[in-house]
Structure 1
Amino acid sequence: MRMAVAQFDVTEDKDANRAAIGDLTARAARQGAELVLFPEYAMTWSARPTADGLRAEAEALDGPFVTALGLLARDHGITVVAGMTEATGERPANTVVIAGPDGTRAGSYRKVHLYDAFGDRESDRLIAAPPEAMVLPVGDLTVGVMTCYDLRFPEMGRFLVDAGADVLLVPAAWMAGPGKVAHWEVLVRARALENTSYVLAAGQCGRYRTGRSLAVDPSGEILASLDEEPDVAVVDVEAATIEAVRHRNPSLANRRFDVVPR
C-alpha cells in the first residue's frame, strides 16, 4: 500500500491549518496514498505556549478539528493521522487522532513522554498519559503511533512492535537547534533498524522547527525525505519487505529482554 508524510507551517489560525491539511490530503490521495500522516499539534501551534493558552485552544475528540478530519478522510477515502490539543479537564493532552476512510474516528493516542528537555517543560502545561499501545490495522498492515519526544525512547517503539505494529507513525513538532536535524534523522532510522519496521515521521516546518519529514524502510534506508517547506511525500509500504528484512535480520526473534511499562 501507499502511505504519505505531510508537513506544513502550523500556526495559531485553526482555519488556515485545516485548509493546509485539506490541500495536502488531496495531494496524497491523488498519488494513491491510503494513509497520510501529519505533524504533532497540527490543529494549532504557538512558539511560546502557555498552560492557559493550551486550555483555551483545546478541543474535545468530537469537536470541530476531529470532525473536519473525519469529513476529509471520508471524502478522499484515506486514513488521516494528525496531532491536536485535546480538552481533558484541568489540563489538556497532547493527542494524535486517526480518522478512518469511512470518516469515523478509528483511534487516538495521548503522548506518554512529555517534552521536559532542552529548556522546555511540556509537563507544566499538559497531562502525561500512561503507556498505551495505540495500534490499528490499515489495509494488510498494522500501524502504531508515538509522538515526537517518544522517539527518543527506544522502548516505546519496541512496545508498539510487540503489540503488532509493522509501521511506526511519528507525528512531531521537532524543534530546531544545534544538532537537532541530525538527532531527528538518526533516531528515526534507529527506530526502523532496531524494530525492522517502517517508520514514517512527519515534522512541522516553519520558524523554530526542523521540518525534514522522513519515511524509512525496515532496513533503515530513507525512502523519502522533505526539506523545510510545506510538502507531501508518498512511499510504498510493503508487508513482503518487512518479512524479508526480518528473515535476513531476525533481531526481534533473537532478543532476550521484554519491554514492560512502569
Structure 2
Amino acid sequence: MKLKIAFLQLQPAGSIEDNMEKGVKACREAKEKGADIALFPEMWSTGYVFPHEKEGLEQNAVSLDSAYVKQFSALAAELDMAIAVTLLEKHEPKPRNTVCLFDRHGERMYRYSKVHICNFGEDDDEGVLDAGDDFCVAELDTAKGRINVGSMICYDREFPESARVLMLKGAELLLVPNACPMEINRLSQLRGRAYENQIAIATCNYPASHRGCNGHSTLFDGVIYHTETGAPRDMLVCETGEEEGIFLAELDVDLLREYRNREKCGLKNRRPELYGILTGGRK
C-alpha cells in the first residue's frame, strides 16, 4: 500500500470564513492531484494568529459542531479523502489548539489538542490556551487500505514522550500540523522521532510568507535500513521549499510494515521498569 499525503502549505486568507474557503479549494486541488490524506498547518482556522484578551480569543474560537468543522467533514466524504484540519477550538475554561482527522467517509477519527503548549510567559505565546490531556490513535480507512494514525502539533515534537506514547498506542503514521521555522535542529528532531519509533511522520508548515514560518514541510518514512541489503538509508521522502503551495509525497506503508516486523528495535529491548523517573517514579 502506498499513500499520497498532501501538504497544504498555505498562506492564510484572513478571516475564519476566508480560511475555510481557501482550505476547501486546496483540498479539492489535493484530491485532483491524487491525495489520500490532506494535512493543514497548525490552527488553520485563524492562520495561527489569535487575540490574547479573553473576549477576542473566545470570538475567534470555533466549536466542533461549527460550520467550519462540519464543512471539512462533509468535504472529506465528498472527495473520498481523509482530511486533517486544524482550528482554534472553543473549549472551557480556555480554547485549545486542535486537529480533527476525518476519514474518507466524513467520520471524525479523533480530535487531538496540543498537549505541550508554548507557554513561555511571553505576551504572544500560547499561555492563553488550554493544553490537551491525551494522545489519540485511530485506524484510518483510506481508499488504498487501513493505517493507524496519530497526531502531534508543532512543539509536541520537542518532547520524545509524545511520539513514543503514540507508537506504543499502535500508530504507524503521525500527522503533524506546524507553525514555526523548520531549521536543521527542528528537522533533526522529527528525523529522530521517526528513527527511534520506526514511525512515519508527516509535518505541514506555513510558507515563508507567514510570519515566523519558512515552509519545509516534510515526510520521514521511518525506515532506517534497506530491507534487502541492510544498508543505512535516508528516511526523508519529501522536503518542500519555502513557497506557498500544495505538495504531495508518497508513503510506502508496506515497506514501513515490513521493516517494523523485521527490526522491532523500538519495542523489543525497552526497559520500562527503569523509566519511572519520567512519570514521577523513583528510578
Q: 2:129 corresponds to which letter in structure 1?
A: L
The match for 1:86 among 67, 86, 89 is 89
Once residues 140 and 48 of structure 1 are traced to their aligned partners in structure 2, the CA distance between those partners, rounded to angstroms, is 36
Offset from partner CA, 1:185-240 (integer Å, 9 cap, x none): 11111111111111000112223212211111113521112122222222222332
Q: CA RMSD in A?
A: 2.3
**Structure 2 counterpart of 1:243:** 257
Deviations 1:124-170, CA, capped at 9 Å, x for gaps: 3111122x121111232101111111010011001001001000111
Question: How far off its partner does 1:121 sit?
Answer: 6.4
Partner Cα distance (2:169, 2:108) in 1: 20
Q: Which residue of 1 aligns with 2:248?
A: 234
The reply on whether 1:113 has 2:127 as its aligned counterpart is no
Give the conservation status (yes or no) of the 8 Å contact 1:201–1:215: yes
Q: Secondary structure at the match of 1:237?
A: strand
Give the distance between the partners of 1:240 and 1:124, measured in 2 at CA: 41
Take 1:211 and 1:51, find their aligned partners in 2: how far apart are those partners? Answer: 29
In structure 1, what is the equivalent of residue 174 of structure 2? 168
Shift of residue 19 of structure 1? 2.4
2:214 paired with 1:210 = yes
CA distance in 1, matches of 2:200, 2:48: 30
SS in 2 for 1:44: coil
Is the Cα–Cα contact under 8 Å of residues 11 and 46 in structure 1 kept in the other structure? Answer: no
Secondary structure of residue in 1 paired with 2:213: coil
SS at structure 1 position matched to 2:191: helix
The alignment partner of 1:253 has SS state of: coil
Q: TM-score, normalised by structure 1?
A: 0.89
Equivalences for residues 1-262 of structure 1 within 5 A: 1-45=3-47, 47=49, 49-52=51-54, 53-117=56-120, 119=122, 122-130=125-133, 132-138=134-140, 139-174=145-180, 176=181, 180-205=182-207, 206-218=210-222, 219=224, 221-246=235-260, 247-248=262-263, 250-257=265-272
Q: Distance in 1 between matches of 2:139 and 2:33?
A: 21
CA distance in 2, matches of 1:167, 1:15: 30
TM-score relative to the length of structure 2: 0.83
1:17/1:48 CA distance change after superposition, 3 Å: closer
Q: Greater RCO between the two (CA within 8 Å, min separation 6)?
A: 1
Q: Following TM superposition, by how much is the alpha carbon of 1:68 offset from its aligned partner in structure 2, in angstroms?
A: 1.2
Inter-CA distance 210–191: structure 2 relative to 1 (3 Å threshold): same
User: How many aligned positions are there?
Assistant: 257
Gapped regions of structure 2 (runs ≥ 5) = 225-233
Partner Cα separation in structure 1 for residue 65 and residue 206 of structure 2: 24
- CA distance 1:43–1:142, shift in 2 (3 Å): same
Q: Which moved more, 1:145-154 or 1:242-251?
A: 242-251
CA–CA distance in 1 between the matches of 2:263 and 2:101?
32
Residues 242/67 of structure 1: CA separation in 2 closer, same or farther (3 Å cut): same
Instruction: Work out whether residues 226 and 232 of structure 1, in 8 Å CA contact, stay in contact via their aligned partners in 2.
Output: no
Cα distance in 1 between the residues matched to 2:121 and 2:10:
23
Q: Distance in 1 between matches of 2:22 and 2:240?
A: 16
Q: Which moved more, 1:92-101 or 1:227-236?
A: 227-236
Taking structure 1 as reference, are residues 181 and 255 closer, same or farther at Cα in structure 2, changes over 3 Å only? Answer: same
Amino acid at match of 2:14: E
Query: By how many angstroms is 1:249 displaced?
Result: 6.2
Structure with greater Cα Rg: 2
CA 1:182–1:6: 2 relative to 1, 3 Å: same
> Alignment partner of 2:196: what SS?
helix
5+ residue gaps, structure 1: none
SS of match in other structure, 2:22: helix
